[in-house]
Structure formats: C-alpha cells, structure tokens
Structure 1
Amino acid sequence: MTRSLCGVLAAVTLFIFGFASNASAIPTFSRKYQTSCSTCHYAYPKLNKFGRTFLNNGFRYPEGEDPSYTKEEPTKLGADSYKQVFPDAIWPSDIPGTGPVSLRLINRTNFRPVEPKSSFEFPHELEFLFGGTLGESFSFFGEVEYEHADEFAYGFYLQYNAKPGFNIKVGTVDPAPIPDHMRLTASHFGYLNMRVSDSGWRLRDGQSGLELWGAMDGPNGRGGFKYQFGMVNGQNTDSNDDVDSDKDFYSIFSYKFGGLGRAGGTEAASASSAFWKDNSFTIGINTYNGNSTYGDGFENSFSVFGVFADIWLGRLNLWNATQFHTDDNPKANSLMERKGLASSTEADFVLYPWLIGFARYDYIDSYRGDGVEATKYVVPGLTAMIRANVKVTFEMQLRLDEAGEKKDKYVIGVDFAM
C-alpha cells in the first residue's frame, strides 16, 4: 500500500504542477476587484482577517471604500437622481457587470486498510458558486452542489446590509459558530457531526430561515463584537417544507480581542504578503433550541449550548469548539433524556504562505454515561496552494476508538476554483 500511495502522490503532484500554469482563471470576487484569492482567503475556503471583514461588510470593502477598489463596473438599474424623487420613482440599484458565477471542482483519491484499498473520486464534488452585491444595501450568496450520482444540494441567501452592525439575512442560514464549509480538511468538523436523536438532526446542516446579525469594531478599531440571532425550520421535508409548525431558534455571540477590527478599516485593504497574520483572541458562546419529529410522530425537544475560542498568533491559528446537547426524547419514544458532548480542536500552521500544516482532534459522545466509548479522530495533514486558486491536500483520518479499528482513511485532494 505504501508503494502505491507514493506512486499516486508523485503522479498527482506532477499533474498539478503541469496543469497549474494554465489555471489563471479567478473566482467572482477576484474578477470584480482584480485581486488574488489570497486577499480574502488563508487557504480557500478558509478566510483570513480581511476575508472575515469583507464578509461582515456584505461582500464589500469596509469604510465605504468599495467603489474605489471595484475594477469591474456594475450595471446601473436607474439613475442616481431617482433618489431625489423617491417615492415617485423606483430607488436605483445595480447588478454585477458580468455573471457572478464561479466554479469549484474537488477531486479525491482515498486509501483504506481494507477493501477497496484505493478509490478515485473524480470528481468528488462539483460546485457552482454565485455571490455579489445589489446596489448599496443588498448582497447575496449561493451554491448549487453536485456530489456523486444521487446527491444534489443547494443553498442561497439574500441579505439587507444597513451597516456592518445591522443586517437581515433571508434564505439558507448557518447556525454553526465555526462553519464547516470553511474548513481546510476533507473530513467534516466532528463537533458539528453529532446526531443524538433518531430524527438525524445535526448542527452541521444549513437551515431555511431568517437571521439578524451584525459586527462592530472594538476600542481603537481593533477586534470587536459579533452577534447572530436566527429562526429556522429545523427539519425540512424533501419538498423543502417544515415538518411541523414549530420553529427552531439559535444565537451566536463572540468578542474578538486585538487584530483587525471586525467591521474593518482602510488598513484591511493594504497589500501585505502576511495575509495569514491577525494576532488576536476570539471567544464566544452559541445556543440552539428546537424540536425534531421522527418515526410515527415521535417528538423530541432538544437544546444545544456551546463555547468556542479562536486564537491567531503569528503563523499559528488554534481553535476549539465544544457543544453540549440535551435531548428529552431522542430514541423512539423512550422518554429518556440523553446528554451528548462533541468537541473539535484544530491547529493550523503556516510553514510558507503557500504551505500549511494542520492537525485536528475530534471527540463525539452522543450519549454520555451509556458505557459506549466515544468516537475519536485525529486528522493531520498538509495543504499546498500550488496557485492562489489551485490546491493539493494530503490528510490522514485516524480513528482512536476501538470501534474505529481498520477504519482509518488517507485522502489526497486536488481542488481548483475559477
């Protein structure tokens, strides 16, 4: 197996270095501002300090500087003079000057200690991503995702951006404090992957709903506060309807000490090769309260309380997220309360601006005190940004619990966006 793994690694590396010289196409926001993906990304899809500020400003440069950095002119929908005669005219707006669509293709090769010992996933996933701004006060983002022959997913939201401190989002919202879709690894974050009840609900999945959110700078324009309040369906049917009349509610609060201000400033737009630096410490809490339905109408009321921390220090980024679950009836009307615990801790280290080492530990105990050993993973690996929009990842997904014997997995990922 070792010899075959080395052979595939060599072949993939030669292929990518040869291919990458032609991978000059850039995603939507890079085209709009004529800038590199690394302006916003630590190593895509993970955001760096400016990327988070850009997100908090509704996909705009902060401090009203967006027009001066925009290189791809938008298409005007009405003259600015219409503002003077409103409401006797439609308020003017604009749309992206070209189609705001990007493509991401993920290929993977998997190795296991049992049959099949090697497997190609070409492609593992194909994503059509679209995002942009609509005038001064609206923005949008969405994804259509095709994975394997029978897996099709989509998500979209529109948001009103009054200012960084007050925004309203409608569509697909994410109740996770550290989002799974911004991870470096092929392996999903364990802290979001726990399913306690028979309904199959988990914190990782996007939700249909509404979110009120905002971000504000701290003293002297450093760090700051961010809040999110959401109301969601909780569980959807195949036709995207709620399974019942109850709504679920979530909240996320965090405070960042030091580093770039959460609402940003002109400093955020300055060119720097150290795009991965943001000496800061963020701490926060999150909650989720809902109801799930399964089987013959069995209902389960549940709650989640979590804590999380995110440290950036020089070349190191270290974070942890821990979630405590309480379910009052998770198993087919047993009427027996269960408590679960899930936690993820990850360290990412910049060896070079284009080469990042990572290691994560995941702990998942769906039923604390039942005598069954918790699921435990360690996920070490490397991400190499061959170009700003082309990366190669090697990771090991190693099970540490007895039930995970011979379930280790080794993944080589080839990923590009344009």
Structure 2
Amino acid sequence: MDGKSFNMGFLAVIVIGMVFTLFPRETEAIPPFARKYKTACTTCHWGTFPKLNAFGRAFYANGLRMPGGDDEVFVKEEPVSMGASAWSRLFPKAVWPGTIPHLPAIGFRMVSEFAMTKERPRDPRGGDAGRPDRGSDSNFVGIESLEVLFGGTFGDTLSFFGAGSIDELERAYLNYAPFLFGEQGFFNFRFGRLDMRVTPMTSHRRQLSLAPFIMDVMPTVSSGNFWGFHPAQNGVEIWGSLNGPGGKGGLEWAAGIVNGETGEGIELFDGTGDMGTIIENVEDEAGGPFGGEFNNNKDWYVMVSYKLGGMGVLGGGAQNGSLVSKGNWQDNSVRIKGYYYRGVTGAYVDDPITGSAGNPLVGGVFDKNANRFKRYGIVIDANWWNFNLIGVASFMEDDIKGSVTYEAGSFGSNSPRESGSSFDTSIYTGEIECVVLPWIVPAFRIENVNPSYDARDIKSFTKYTFDTTIIPRANFKVLAGVTWTDYPDKKTGIDGLDVDGIDFGSFLDTTYRIGVDIAF
C-alpha cells in the first residue's frame, strides 16, 4: 500500500465512523454496577468508560459502595441475605451474616477495530532491512475476545472485582473494609491479582484507548528486565482514604507486597531481530510469556496522594436520593501523587569465574536475584471545567549485582565492547483531555522516553497519541485516532557511532485506528 492510498483509506474510515455516530441519545448501560443501582455508566465515568470521574473514584475508595454510607438507599436490586441480621449479635456463636447479589454480578465487554500501520524502524538490530512483515499493513480485527467484568459486595464490609478474558483473569481481588470509628474507607485490606494503587496512572482506566501508558509497561531492554505495572500483580495491599477539610479533596495512601512478575511489555514490545531473541531468552527463564516470576523474593511498594479541592476522596453522599449522570466530569481540583516500588528480578551477568560476557541477547550466567530495581515518580492530575490535564515524571533504575557485558558488534553492528551495571530510564508524560460535548471527548498524549544505560544505550524518543471518543450510547463508544513516534527509521548516532535501532515492535509503529468498544 503506497502512502497516498494509506492516507486516503484512513480518511475514508474516519468519515464513515463520524456518520455512524451523528445522532447520539442517552441510554442506560448494563454492566454489573449499572444494573445494581439502575443508573447510567456516566454516573461514575469521566465522559465514558473506563476512566472514572470524581464520584467514580469515591465509589472505588469506598470499597465499591456509594459514598457517604448511602449504599443501601440506591440499591435497586435487593441482595439475597445469607443469614439473619440478628446473627451478628450472636457472633462468635453464630456465623456472621452476609449477602450475595440478587443476579449474577457479571458483565461483558467487546472491542473491535480496523488498523493501518507503518513499521518503525525499517533497519532493526539483528533483523533484515526493509522486511515486509509490518512494512505497511491494514487489518480488520474482529471481536477476537470477550472480556468478562464482574464486581459486587458481600454484606457491609466485603467486596470483589474482576476483569479478564474467559480463560485468563487479568485482575481479580477481594477487599475488606472494616468500620473504624463508625466509618469506612480509612483502612482497607485486599488480596488477589491487583491493579496496584502504586501504578502512576493506571492503564485500566485511561481515556486514550490506543495504547497503555509507556511508564506502565516500558522494559529495561539492555538488562533484560520486562517487569511492569500493567496489567496487574499477585499480592496483598493495605490502603485508605480520608476527606480533607470541609469534605473537599483529601488524603489517599497504599502499601503492598507482590510477587513481582513480568508485565505486558513483554508482549507489547514484540520486536524481531535481536529484540525477539532477548524476549525469547527472558521468557525461557520466566517460564512463560506473561506473568512469569524469576525468584522467591517479594517486591514492595508505597504510595501517597493528596487532592486539593473538588469532591472529597471518599465523597460526601448523594443528594435527595438521586445520582447525577450528566455533566459530572467537572471537579475543579489538583491531585498530587508520589509513588515508590522496589523489586528484585533476574539478569544475565558476566561469569564471575571465567569472565565470559553475559547479557540478555547471548545469555550466559543467569542470576535470578541480580537486578535490584526501583520505580518511582510524581503525578499531577488536574481538573478544570471540561478539561483534565495530567503530568507525570517517572524514573526507572536497574542496579545489577555484578556486570552485564556486550562484545563488540553484538546488539548493534557498529557498537564497541561495553560493560556496566546501571540501566536507568526517565519518562515524562503529558496528557490533555476535554469534553467538547457530552458525547465527544478528544484526548492527546505525549511521552518522552530517555534511556541511560551503561551498556548498549538507546537513543531517546518521543511518542505522540491522539484520539477522539464518540459516545452514541452510554455503554457504546466509537474511537478514532493515531499514534506515532520520532523513533528513528535508520541508523542514528549514539556516542559518535552510527547504530542500528532496536525493533520495539508494533508498540512504536505509526498506527491509525478506528474501532468500537461496547460494555453490557
């Protein structure tokens, strides 16, 4: 496909998509919580799902219950009692009573799209120059998977949530929210497969749907570390919230212990050539392509955030027995969040006896505890009128016990012999979103990635993403957008040398997409 045909085809797709969605009307969505409370998705979502508005965040902070202790007022489908309420006064001589949802607390989500791609780069390390597999392609992606969504409560203090494909749950956890001083929300305990609160900006609830945040999935390529925040980690977490003065804003905190498994980056950065070899070696050591764990060490993390202004982080209850589902994306406020994650993972290192080189490309001695890595940063999330502005500074530090060495000409045909133990990356992210009309939400993101590796450094690059969400129904959205980067197509200068670029796979390809996302 030539460039002219490529661009004309994309414009045709956009026009068709716009015509398809010219006449929206308000409709109730029917995922589990919408059915439970008989309310539209827009009650809790910022314009559209899956991003949460201030009320949705407060619902989340209250353990998946209505803020202000008003949950029972708004439940329209009465739960099934598991024991009489009087049993609580007989405890421990009786089982503590509880409830289960009246109907199965389950929903579904389908995504389908049409995509056009242009490969970047065209001359990758260890690959064939100008190879045709992703050179310029167009592809219809049918409804290739059906995502299951479930969530609900078991009585006053237990709640549950899960999401994933039929055969593999991406997230699933049970949360306990005890009453302290007659209130809930100050302290919670949850366990399972967690979307960790330490994640700088969760990709599960992003507005831009074309790709996860790079800071959630970026691997440290030259050390072979594919750990990531996204999609989830198995472990336990304690967390809590407290409204600020006057019921505005407030404090949120979390701490957790998790396994520390490989993230989705090992699938997203699906490059060929040398990158493909590194992924294969890492997968072999992890025992699989996704969710692999290298050792018995546990990772830990802490997070604290404070919201200035706007709705209280625990909400304040709804008024007059009604839920607002229009115009509720407005919440003039600024949220500042700091996070720190400390983990241990494996690495190929130089042989301490023979001195032979070890690295994730050629293998060598694999020390399952060699990489002591950190992820930390600060997030600013501001809402004003119809706008949401996000700024994040994320930092990645991989410190290798021992050293990683690349011989001359390996992982870069014109590269010298290099050795080191420090592999760092800084990522700066900015995003702006705007509700132009209740059914039109454009968004733009810029992500600047700056690796700094002792050995086999990677040239800095910037990724740009723009899309527009059109909402013909509250539970049905159409998305059209483009993502592109300034990642070089050909050899570029690094430390005075012309070095061929790493193939990061389709994640950095120039991509045009239009698709639909339906929850029911």
TM-score after normalising by structure 1: 0.91
For the pair 1:231 / 2:254, whether they are aligned, the reply is no
Q: Which secondary structure does the structure 1 equivalent of 2:33 belong to?
A: helix
Q: Which secondary structure does the structure 1 equivalent of 2:69 belong to?
A: coil
Aligned to 1:190: 214
For the pair 1:359 / 2:385, whether they are aligned, the reply is no
The 3 A distance-change label for structure 1 pair 155 and 371 is closer
Q: 2:84 aligns with which of 74, 79, 82?
A: 79
CA contact (8 A) 1:96 1:132 kept: yes
For the pair 1:38 / 2:42, whether they are aligned, the reply is yes
Q: Which secondary structure does the structure 2 equivalent of 1:123 belong to?
A: coil
Pairwise CA RMSD of aligned residues? 2.6
Aligned to 2:296: 245
Deviates more, 1:59-68 or 1:286-295: 286-295
**How many equivalent residue pairs?**
413
CA contact (8 A) 1:107 1:125 kept: no
Q: 1:323 aligns with which of 394, 408, 411?
A: 394
- What are the equivalent positions in structure 2 for 1:46-57 lying under 5 Å apart? 46-57=51-62
Give the deviation of 1:83 after TM superposition. Answer: 1.1
Give the deviation of 1:303 after TM superposition. Answer: 1.0
Aligned to 2:114: 109
CA contact (8 A) 2:238 2:255 kept: yes
Aligned to 1:275: 328
For the pair 1:133 / 2:153, whether they are aligned, the reply is yes
CA distance in 2, matches of 1:25, 1:36: 5
Unaligned runs of 5+ in 1: none
Unaligned runs of 5+ in 2: 1-5, 120-134, 179-183, 263-285, 349-364, 406-418, 491-500, 502-507
CA contact (8 A) 1:192 1:342 kept: no
Q: 2:472 aligns with which of 386, 397, 414?
A: 386
Q: Which secondary structure does the structure 2 equivalent of 1:191 belong to?
A: helix
CA contact (8 A) 2:58 2:315 kept: yes
For the pair 1:349 / 2:434, whether they are aligned, the reply is yes
CA distance in 1, matches of 2:191, 2:115: 37
Q: Which secondary structure does the structure 2 equivalent of 1:3 belong to?
A: helix
Aligned to 2:269: none
Q: Aligned AA for 1:340?
A: T
Give the deviation of 1:414 after TM superposition. Answer: 0.6
Deviates more, 1:58-67 or 1:217-226: 58-67
Aligned to 1:180: 203
CA distance in 1, matches of 2:61, 2:113: 32
For the pair 1:27 / 2:27, whether they are aligned, the reply is no
CA distance in 1, matches of 2:213, 2:287: 25
CA distance in 2, matches of 1:341, 1:316: 26
- Deviation by residue 1:174-227 (Cα, 9 ceiling, x = unmatched): 230321111122211122222113131123341100000001100000000000
The 3 A distance-change label for structure 1 pair 97 and 254 is same
Deviates more, 1:256-265 or 1:198-207: 198-207
The 3 A distance-change label for structure 1 pair 47 and 103 is same
CA contact (8 A) 2:467 2:479 kept: yes
Q: Aligned AA for 1:66?
A: D
Deviates more, 1:119-128 or 1:82-91: 119-128
CA contact (8 A) 2:398 2:422 kept: yes
Q: Which secondary structure does the structure 2 equivalent of 1:262 belong to?
A: coil
CA contact (8 A) 2:451 2:457 kept: no
Deviates more, 1:367-376 or 1:182-191: 367-376
Q: Aligned AA for 2:92?
A: P
Q: Which secondary structure does the structure 2 equivalent of 1:83 belong to?
A: helix
More contact order relative to length (CA 8 Å, sep ≥ 6): 2
Q: 1:311 aligns with which of 379, 382, 386?
A: 382
Aligned to 1:255: 306
Deviates more, 1:329-338 or 1:98-107: 329-338
CA distance in 1, matches of 2:144, 2:514: 11
Q: Aligned AA for 2:442?
A: G
CA contact (8 A) 1:190 1:343 kept: no
The 3 A distance-change label for structure 1 pair 400 and 249 is same
CA distance in 2, matches of 1:176, 1:119: 32
For the pair 1:417 / 2:417, whether they are aligned, the reply is no
For the pair 1:264 / 2:315, whether they are aligned, the reply is yes
Q: Which secondary structure does the structure 1 equivalent of 2:96 belong to?
A: coil
CA contact (8 A) 1:191 1:363 kept: no
CA distance in 1, matches of 2:156, 2:473: 32
Give the deviation of 1:323 after TM superposition. Answer: 1.2
CA distance in 1, matches of 2:203, 2:512: 20
For the pair 1:6 / 2:15, whether they are aligned, the reply is no
Give the deviation of 1:238 after TM superposition. Answer: 5.2
CA contact (8 A) 1:46 1:184 kept: yes
The 3 A distance-change label for structure 1 pair 398 and 242 is closer
Higher normalized strand content (fraction of residues): 1
The 3 A distance-change label for structure 1 pair 154 and 372 is closer
CA distance in 2, matches of 1:46, 1:307: 20
- Deviation by residue 1:258-303 (Cα, 9 ceiling, x = unmatched): 0000011124765262111000001111001010014543220111
Give the % identical residues.
31
Q: Aligned AA for 2:174?
A: L
Deviates more, 1:218-227 or 1:335-344: 335-344
